[in-house]
Structure 1
Amino acid sequence: MKKPLLLRVAVYSPYHLQHHKSLYSASLSPHQTKWNSKTNVIITHPTLAVMESCSSMNQLRQIQARMTLTGLITHTFPLSRLLAFCALSEAGDLRYARRLFSRIPQPNTFMWNTIIRGYNKGRNPATAFSFFILMLRHRVPFDPRTFVFALKACENFSTAPQGESVHSLARKTGFDSELLVRNGLVHFYAARGWLNHARGVFDEMSVKDVVTWTTMIDGYAACNCSDVAMELFGLMLEGDVEPNEVTLIAVLSACSQKGDLGMGKMIHEIMEKNNARWGLSLHNALLDMYVKCGSLVAAREVFDGMESRDVFSWTSMVNGYAKCGDLESARKFFEQTPQKNVVCWSAMIAGYSQNDKPEDSLKLFHEMLGQGFVPVEHTLVSVLSASGQLSCLSAGHWIHHYFVDGIRIPLTVTLANAIIDMYAKCGSIDAAAEVFSAMSERNLVSWNSMIAGYASNGRAKQAVEVFDQMKCLGFKPDDITFVSLLTACSHGGLVSQGQEYFDSMERNYEIKPKKEHYACVVDLLGRNGLVEEAYKLITNMPIQPCEAAWGALLSACRKYGNVELANLSASNLLSSDPEDSGVYVLLANICAKERKWGDVRRVRSLMRDKGVKKIPGRSLVEIDGEFKEFLVADESHPQSEEIYRVLDEIFMLSKLED
């Protein structure tokens, strides 16, 4: 009978230990990381001890040669360690592992598990699963880890039959009673988004550990079921199961989705009470939660207290300050980020775009390209939005054709929607329609963008046609759809049709009209001379009229010379913003048009008394990629005389067209 390997290898002379130490140190550079393999066996043999610190295939081959010379390779355990290094180490070689495995006369369960695990790690699930099938055919005994590794391979298949067959086999062989296998099943179903199946396995388990609870909570959080995730976390705590770091990260993710600052603070308290050295990932999750819940003061405290930070930590702060409109602080954090990545650049670009700073957004985008960063989808969506805000067709057109048509970035539904919106805002509605028509997949945002594009470009008929197509294809309109549709009717003079759409919102679609919808109908009536009806609608609204409604009525009063309602509209607008110079100017112009000179003097006197100054009108024009700004009566440009002469000629030509 052979002695156990552990006893046999302990009798080797000190020479062997010294020999293998020099072999190891000769080939290991000070910058290489040792292989931190996991085994519960106490290793005393010098060759095996050196192999546990192996860091390259070159070293492994030398060790394997030594094992062959000494006969150590004929023993199961040393051979399994060779295989494990080749299959699982970062410095390993999976093809070498397969050749080694194929030469083993009777590989045991651990070796089969190792090769399956290796192919999973190498992102080759089909081969990993094929080895599981071979185990079954060769009647190799399974253990719980076999099923876990097989299920891990099944997570990456496009269909689910393989995973369900593994579940069925585990049930037939009795392994489904093992906690490890049940945890693997919960993870498999949760990873595929099959939460009902995962919960079914979870609820059947009489014994659950922290991995079980965490897997189920993380599954719900990943599928945006934050309420259920947090409810499950509460049950976990009631069951006296101590959460680990992964649990807390999953719950913080759910808090971020729901905006539940209270639960997020509770997690923070748990972290502080445990007084453990929590990892960077958990601190980043906590930071992200505070940012997404709008608690920037708490986020800054967490950030300042972090022992280490990565680009995610800095980007979270950039995002937080940008979203609350504090672009100066956002830019400060952006500039201080030690190693920026494309996500960090995109966060700052989006911050400018979303806070009405499109010029800065485009400028930073060009800086990013100049530093060699390749934009991602989120970057382009923000820059396309900035191009639309500026009506900068050349920039938007270049982004579309260079990055999307050039197949540098895949055209997703989100990106296509952004392109449609950009073209529509730049007045190139036919280009927007072309992109829309070519889309193989559309969502509600796609339809809304196209309806809004036609509405803003004065094509009411086409907007209505798109709306009808949308309904025929089974898309249900939302409140944004009706804002665009009512705007189209307003611009197209479709009064009765617009009123019918407004009336159908609640009746047919269960959408309660908001302030924006009432403002659209006020504009619809006012533009078409029904000023009194527009005012009547405002006074009978079940909600407080917004500034847009009063503004629409004031514009209608200007067009149709209703001074009385103009004064009333202006009064309501100025009560919310007494320093809006545009309201004073518009009211004065209405009074002047109707020759109410006393009212004109009264409005101008009121402006002087309140210290309100008229903001001069300005225009932007793009020339060779640069934006030139012009104010009313601006003569600062060296060619201003020539510019005004051309403008006069254009004005005269427009009069002739009328």
Structure 2
Amino acid sequence: MEEAKNLFNRMPHWTLISWNIMLVAYATDHDLKGVLDVLDSMQERNVFTWNTVITAFAQEGQLEAAKSIFQSMPDWNLATWTTMLQAYAQMGHLSDAWVVFRSMPEHDVISWIAILLANYQNSDLASTIAVFDSMPDWSAASCTVMLQALSDRGHITAARDVYDSITDKNVVAGTAMITAYSQAGMPTHAQEVFDFMEEKNVLTWSSLMSAYAQARQMPQAENLFEHMPERNLVSWSTMISGFAENGNLENARCCFDSMPEHTQAAWNAMAAAYTICGHLEDAREAFDDMPDRDQISYTAMVQSYAQNGNIGEGISLVYAMPHRDAKTWNALMAALAQKGYLNRARRVFDAMPESNGVSWSAIVSCYAQTGRGESGVRMFAAMAAEGFPADQVACLSGLVAQTHIGRVPQCCAFFRSMQQDFGVAPLAEHFLCVVDLLGKAGHLERAEELVETMPYEPHAKTWGALLGACRLHADVGRASGAARNLFAVDTRDSGSHVLVSNIALQEAERRRNCKAGVTCCSFSSYACSVTADLYALLGVSSGADALEHLPHRTDVLPGR
């Protein structure tokens, strides 16, 4: 900033453009006093000047000051009205944003998109849809906002319908659709959108890479990375994060070392990679080596300390931060809960200077992930009572809490209420929770029906949950179908093979017991005829003689 001031002071004369540039510099540096000093020194001002000042104060949370500046303006145009609308929306003041919108003498495309975004960011899906339906015309920009709102609430099919309705598709809309499929765990669909796009930019390529990385398909992500026409920080960071999340820290480090330059975001990505893999000392070393640190840097390091049990250091670092926001407190709270320090996590939540929907979702998740289902359900109800809209993450935490209680009717009722009461369409993860609970409770037929009728292609975890329930309740017939579908999705998971082996061994033991004259009632009478499917999957003959060559249970599962 000092260099910018010196350069400005050395200029032979100052124009309105140079004054505005200086104004932006102070605003970017979060120096509101400097912003006001420049404003007072300016002999001429334009709309850009006023909009910059209003935005600077709004972004620092000083809405009253922004409003005062707005009211002191000699005159307003559509851009100024829209800036004030966006200021209220950014701070979560949706009702005030609506007051500004309704006070505007006229509305253009930008103001309509601004109020659409305000509802998307601060309200339920129904309100966002109502605004969208009220717009006089739909552009690619407004449709892109709408598809993001739909996909964020899990309505991926509806989001695709909106995307398909765009007549003048552009790179922004296409990238948003790819991102939506990425978040839904549908890389094949993301690839299809990518292939049909006429124009692609580096963010488009990075979004598709992220889709494959999140689906644990790193070879496809690497192939895209190698064939990108250009790379930027986002693409490099995507690969670093992808390798780390898939447990390949060596490749993540190699990717970091190969970057043409190490920006702040690159350092943050590498520090986060160490954190993901549990390497506290390396994360701290990366943190110390950073030429500069921002909010993300500190938050990643706080998470690393907390996840490794160094609670004192994590809290000390929080208070050493130059700026603290809700994201920092949320990260500390979640990390404390992951290590089992639930009471400390709750104290952090109660002491937060300002909580938001993410904070509430995080504390619900803390209770849910640590098995405190009743407390999680109560916190979810309190969140709704406080007026914070539930999103996919919050609903997943609430659903996990319900499954820990183990009450099937209440869990199923909550699952239905997601869409009816909160406008959140369940994702594959939500279906997995219900399938797991139904299966463990012995409702195998209902669990299987839910898997087969869900609007997503079931992934390995879903079939694995059903297969595990089949083993628990000795349903070999249903297990054979679940195993067949599981291996069609993923044949590499050793845990799945062990699970199927154990089911086959259960049946082998049952038949041995039957041969020895031991009464057997744990399996249905038709089990023997379908067990062959399991043996075939394992590469074992299903003939009677093959049973004699299967090891006894004690040979495979010692101590059980």
TM-score by length of 2: 0.59
SS of the counterpart of 2:371?
coil
Cα deviation for residue 363 of structure 1 reads 5.0
Pairing partner for 2:7 from 66, 78, 90:
90
In structure 2, the residue matched to 1:193 is 86
* 1:455–1:186 CA distance, 2 compared to 1 (3 A): closer
Q: Does the 8 Å CA contact 2:459/2:489 hold for their aligned counterparts?
A: no
The residue aligned with 2:265 is 343
Residue 335 of structure 1 deviates from its aligned partner by 1.5
Alpha-carbon spacing, 1:373–1:484, altered in 2? closer, same or farther (3 Å):
same
2:358 maps to 445
1:302 correspondence with 2:230: yes
Residue 499 of structure 1 aligns with which residue? 412
Matches within 5 A, 1:103-118: none
Alignment of 1:426 onto 2:336: no
Where does residue 72 of structure 2 map in the other structure?
A: 165
In 2, Cα distance between the equivalents of 1:117 and 1:540? Answer: 58
Structure 1 residues 540 and 262: CA distance shift in structure 2, 3 A: closer
1:342/1:507 Cα in 2 relative to 1: closer, same or farther (>3 Å)?
A: closer
Task: Choose the corresponding residue for 1:394, options 309, 326, 329.
Answer: 309
**Alignment partner, residue 244 of structure 1:** none
Residues 129-528 of structure 1 aligned to structure 2 (within 5 Å): 129-131=39-41, 145-147=44-46, 151=50, 154-155=53-54, 156-157=56-57, 158-168=65-75, 186=79, 190=83, 193=86, 287=202, 291-292=206-207, 294=209, 300-302=228-230, 313=232, 315-322=233-240, 325=243, 331-337=253-259, 340-351=262-273, 358-359=277-278, 362=280, 364-371=282-289, 373=291, 375-382=293-300, 392-395=307-310, 397-398=311-312, 400-404=314-318, 406-528=319-441
Shift of 1:429: 1.9
Alignment match, 1:557: 470
Aligned mate of 1:571, from 477, 484, 502: 484
Paired AA for residue 127 in structure 1: D
Partners of 1:547 and 1:112 lie apart in 2 by 63
Deviation track 1:558-592 (CA, whole Å, cap 9, x = no partner) reads 33333333333323322322343322322333454
Query: Secondary structure at 2:278's aligned position in 1?
Result: helix
Deviation at residue 472 of structure 1 after TM alignment: 0.9
1:593-604, aligned counterparts within 5 Å?
593=506, 595-596=509-510
Paired residue type of 2:267: W
| Deviation digits for residues 580-605 of structure 1 (CA, Å, limit 9, x no counterpart) | 33223223334545633578999678
CA distance in 1, matches of 2:174, 2:71: 32
How big is the shift at 1:461? 0.8
Is the partner of 2:74 in helix, strand or coil? helix
1:186-206 deviation digits (Å, cap 9, x = unpaired): 479649836988x989999xx
Shift in Å, 1:465: 0.6
Structure 2 counterpart of 1:126: 36
Distance 2:354 2:206 in 1: 33
Bigger drift between 110-119 and 370-379 goes to 110-119
- What amino acid does structure 2 have at the position aligned with 1:497? Q
Displacement after TM superposition at 1:350 (Å): 3.5
**What is the DSSP-based 3-state SS (H/G/I as helix, E as strand, rest coil) of the residue aligned with 1:567?**
helix
Which has the larger Rg?
1
SS in 2 for 1:401: helix
Structure 2 Cα separation of the partners of residues 254 and 584 of structure 1: 42
- The 2-side partners of 1:543 and 1:506 are apart by 16
| Residues 489, 524 of structure 1: 8 Å contact kept | no
Displacement of 1:462:
0.3
1:209 maps to none
After superposition, the C-alpha distances for 1:204-260 in whole angstroms (9 at most, x for unaligned) are 9xxxxxxxx9x99x999x9999x96969xxxxxxxxxxxxxxxxxxx9989877769
Query: Structure 1 residues 564, 441: closer, same or farther in 2, change over 3 A?
Result: same
Q: Provide the TM-score with structure 1 as the length reference.
A: 0.51
Quick check: 1:318–1:331 contact (8 Å CA) kept in 2?
no
Unaligned runs of 5+ in 1: 1-55, 57-86, 98-109, 136-144, 172-181, 205-212, 232-250, 269-285, 304-312, 611-631, 634-650
> Residue 162 and residue 565 in structure 1: after superposition, are their counterparts in 2 closer, same or farther (change >3 A)?
closer
- Contact 1:393-1:423 at 8 Å conserved across structures: no
1:7-156 residue pairs with structure 2 within 5 A? 89-90=6-7, 92=9, 120=23, 124-131=34-41, 145-147=44-46, 151=50, 154-155=53-54, 156=56
Gap change, CA 1:368 and 1:602, over 3 Å in 2: same
* Residues in 2 aligned to 1:431 and 1:324: alpha-carbon distance in whole angstroms: 31
What is the letter of the counterpart of residue 510 of structure 2? Answer: K
Task: Give the counterpart letter for 1:126 in structure 2.
Answer: L
2:240 maps to a residue whose letter is A
Count, aligned residues = 424
Range moving further from structure 2, 481-490 or 365-374? 365-374
Output one character per residue of 1:62-106: Cα deviation in whole Å (capped at 9) or x when no partner. xxxxxxxxxxxxxxxxxxxxxxxxx97528499xx9xxxxxxxxx
Larger relative contact order, structure 1 or 2 (CA cutoff 8 Å, min sep 6): 2
TM-aligned CA distance change 1:165 to 1:288, over 3 Å: same
Instruction: Give the conservation status (yes or no) of the 8 Å contact 2:406–2:437.
Output: yes
User: Aligned residue for 1:548?
Assistant: 461
Q: What is the CA distance between 1:441 and its match in structure 2?
A: 2.5
Partner of 2:186: none
Change (3 A) 1:228 1:88: farther
5+ unaligned residues in a row in structure 2: which ranges? 58-64, 88-96, 122-137, 143-169, 179-192, 210-220, 513-527, 542-556
Letter in 1 for 2:264: V
- What SS does the aligned partner of 1:465 have? helix
Q: Alpha-carbon deviations, 1:103-153, whole Å to 9, x = none?
A: xxxxxxx99989987985776233344456xx7xxxxxxxxx455796378
Identity of aligned residues (%): 23
Equivalent residues of 2:206, 2:235 under 8 A apart: yes
